[in-house]
Amino acid sequence: MRNLKVIMTYKGTAYHGFQIQDNAVTVQDVVEKCVSRVLNSETSITGCSRTDAGVHANRYCFSVLTDSKIPEKSFVRGVNSYLPSDISILSCEEVPLDFHARYSCKAKEYVYLIHNSECRNPFAEDLQYHYRRKMDIELMRKAAAHFIGTHDFRSFCSARTDKTNTVRTIYELSIEKENELVKIFIKGDGFLYNMVRIIVGTLLSVNEGKISADEIPLILEKTDRLSAGKTAQAHGLYLNRVFY
């Protein structure tokens, strides 16, 4: 038995997230079918994370157990030959059998892309969130600093979450602006359902004067979803990197 660690990238616009669902097309469903064809057996893959409908991934990791002796390079070429144009396998390597794409993960980094302009960019449609208001990056950075550290993020996750433990650690939260493109990077030990999108939405609420930058610690303490900002749209979000 071999354990393969695979890195892929995908545009999530056409999919209802990563994880297999009934009556919906997902990334996992499409990839598993292609992997099964290459390995000549019904195969399941284990993803590093769930992603919501419309969310993208720059470097997503999954692991797959197989008896096949296929070379790693042939696996990459073979699976890519069957995949649609919005999913691509980047690399494959054999790893120890105890490696698990999800449970071996030490940290994840997401990036949220904002096209900050009065006018839409047709080439960024479904890939960046279009935001017309002028952005006070320094004010947003001041608010962002309050998220760093270990906190109960119940105020910043969907009420639909199935997690009883909502404590997470944010290692880094940075905001970069280059011309009309704003990038919000968030790295942490794990993320709750919609957590990154709600943090981004709250930072935008700070920018709009609806929430004070200094209110963030109080919102964290309240553990009340209604006290935080809106949930930013899915299409600006990317799983950027996974750390093992």
- Which tokens is 14 given? 């056409």
Whether 52 is a known active-site residue: answer yes
Q: What is the dihedral of CA 95, 100, 103, 108, to 10 degrees?
A: 60
**In terms of DSSP bridges, do strands 181-188 and 129-131 run parallel, antiparallel, or are they unpaired?**
unpaired
Greatest CA span in the chain, whole angstroms? Answer: 59
What is the full DSSP assignment across 121-133? -GGGTTTSEEE-S
Beta bridge partners of residue 93, listed in sequence order: 5
**In terms of DSSP bridges, do strands 167-178 and 107-116 run parallel, antiparallel, or are they unpaired?**
unpaired
Whose structure tokens read 């553990």? 223
Give which of 199, 138, 139, 140 is closest to 168, Cα–Cα: 199
Which residue of the set 52, 86, 126, 189 is catalytic?
A: 52
**In terms of DSSP bridges, do strands 2-10 and 56-66 run parallel, antiparallel, or are they unpaired?**
antiparallel
Question: DSSP assignment, residue 91?
Answer: E
Q: Which helix (H) or strand (E) holds 150?
A: strand 149-152
Q: Cα(151)–Cα(137) distance, rounded to whole angstroms?
A: 23
Q: Cα(90)–Cα(102) distance, rounded to whole angstroms?
A: 18
Radius of gyration of the chain (CA): 19
Active site (catalytic) residues: 52
